[in-house]
Chains A and B, each alone.
Chain A
Amino acid sequence: MKYAIFLGCTVPVRNLSYELSARRAAACLGVEFVDIPEFSCCGYPTRSVHHETSLLLAARNLALAEERGLDICTLCSACTSVLTEASRKLATDEGLLEKVNRSLGAVGRRYLGKVRVKHLARVFYEDVGPDAIKNAVKRPLDAFRIASHYGCHYLKPSEIYDRFDHPEVPKSLDELVTATGAQAVDYATKKECCGGAILAVDEELALRMARAKLDDIKASGADAINLICPFCSVMYGANQRKIQTKYGAKYDLPIMYYPQVLGLALGIDAEELGLSQNPVKPRAILAKIS
């Protein structure tokens, strides 16, 4: 299990604890990561503005991994969707691949269409597997109730992800949580979008989207929200205080990245998983562990 690790834009600058815990937890389970410094933005943010530019940015990133003979493991769900879709299209549409390569040639790159892309959570789910995780657990998190937020681009559009999990009845994150010994909490708005993509267009509306879900998760009695996307973490973590102030609510609901949940169960020290850097600190959870 060897992948080029694709950090994207937000993780390596603003969500270092996600990157830190991903590297530590993966190494613990035999997933090897190779860094490619030339990786750029995946192309997702330019998709709405200029389709061709977005495709070329994605193809360039795929070419960089291919040069090293590696598949890609992504941390951000938006990177996952744009890179997966590009890899799918370029693997099946020779005309498009040729056209893309004419442009990539100008920056000294060429893509043959060989790279596959997987989100970190899918790597844990498919390559490692819940059973192997269960066997590797040193400190079962059985005192915790954890609500998973799947987000959108991890599972949709489902046709580009081989339907490895069902977009309407997802279970992979819950199974990954259960594998750590924690209780996976179900809640009504489980599949709803965080609103991150429209935060800069209509902040109020985006915050209302996140708020509805925070209300629901709080009511479910969960100790923490399990996240796998840095954009979702902006909505539920970084903006949680803002939502509380704006709507007079009180959540104090810690967010945790899945590799942090997993890392704790694997016995990795909380500090090494960057837990003290999370926007809403999981103090109660850590107190229960130590």
Chain B
Amino acid sequence: MERGSSAEKDGVVVTVLDPKFKYEIATEPGGENIKYCFQCGTCTSGCPVAELDGKYNPRRIIRMAILGMRERVLSSDFIWLCSTCYTCYERCPQDVRITEVMNALKNMAVRAGYVHPAFRAQAELIAAHGRLYEVDEFTNEKRAELGLPTLPSGSPEVAEIYGMTGLASLLSGKGA
């Protein structure tokens, strides 16, 4: 059980838990089914990441989210460790759609200011080049040598989409 920063003595402070957190997750795309979870642990038992490192444990993360441990869940690195392999999603007897719940949590974390640096870098590269990797002159020369069609080096439409959805300002820290 989480302890609040304002805890007096060593008592468990229930008030820092946010009972509305689970409802919020359920309104997020992908998070709709979170409340179906009955903690059977099928997700964790089949998870290739949890098998190697206990710091990622989908059953536990979902339990924490349902309990309302908002800050602990959104600010932790563990939500970014989902390899999105969908094994848990396929096997979950309650159709919680855990892979999507993790995505919903990551989206909420970003809005709360906790974007993982690797994912921030990827999102910024796509805004700048329309792809994860810039198609530079060297690449196009190599492509042409192999008889492959050359590609444009950027996509103004992608940058426009970033502006439209608010992701550009989220990444620049100006808020959506």
Query: A: which residues have CB within 8 A of B?
Result: 7-10, 12-14, 16, 19-20, 23, 35, 37-38, 40-41, 45-53, 56-57, 60, 103, 106-109, 152-153, 156-158, 167-168, 191-193, 195-198, 200-202, 205-206, 208-209, 212, 274
Contacts and interface: CB of A to CB of B under 8 A. Distances in A.
25 contacts: A16-B142, A37-B149, A37-B151, A38-B157, A40-B131, A40-B158, A45-B119, A45-B122, A48-B106, A49-B106, A50-B107, A51-B30, A51-B103, A56-B161, A103-B165, A152-B83, A156-B87, A156-B90, A157-B86, A191-B87, A196-B83, A200-B121, A205-B53, A206-B83, A212-B52
A274 B143 CA distance: 12
Contacts, number: 170
Interface residues of B, number: 58
Given A14-B133, A23-B148, A274-B146, 18 more contacts: A9-B132, A12-B151, A13-B139, A19-B148, A38-B155, A40-B158, A41-B158, A46-B167, A50-B165, A51-B107, A152-B84, A152-B87, A157-B90, A193-B48, A200-B121, A201-B81, A205-B49, A209-B52
B49 A198 contact: yes
Contact of A109 (B86, B118, B157): B157
Interface string B139-176: 10011001011011001011011101111001000000
Interface of B: 28-30, 48-49, 52-53, 77, 80-87, 89-90, 99, 103-104, 106-107, 110, 115-116, 118-123, 126, 130-135, 139, 142-143, 146, 148-149, 151-152, 155, 157-158, 160-162, 164-167, 170
A205 B50 CA distance: 10
A48 B148 contact: no
A175 B164 CA distance: 45
A278 to B, nearest CB: 14
Identify the interface centre among B116, B135, B165: most chain A CB within 10 Å of its CB: B165
The winner among A10, A196, A202 for most chain B CB atoms within 10 A is A202
B45 to A, nearest CB: 14
Given A40-B130, A48-B106, A57-B158, A156 B165 contact: no
Given A10-B133, A38-B152, A53 B80 contact: no
Nearest to A23: B148
Contacts of A274: 146
Contacts of A7: 151
Contacts of A106: 160, 164
A16 B120 contact: no
A60 B157 contact: yes
Contact of B130 (A14, A41, A168): A41
Contact of A103 (B89, B99, B161): B161
A40 B157 contact: yes
Interface centre among B83, B121, B143 (most CB of A within 10 A): B83
Nearest to A192: B48
B166 to A, nearest CB: 8
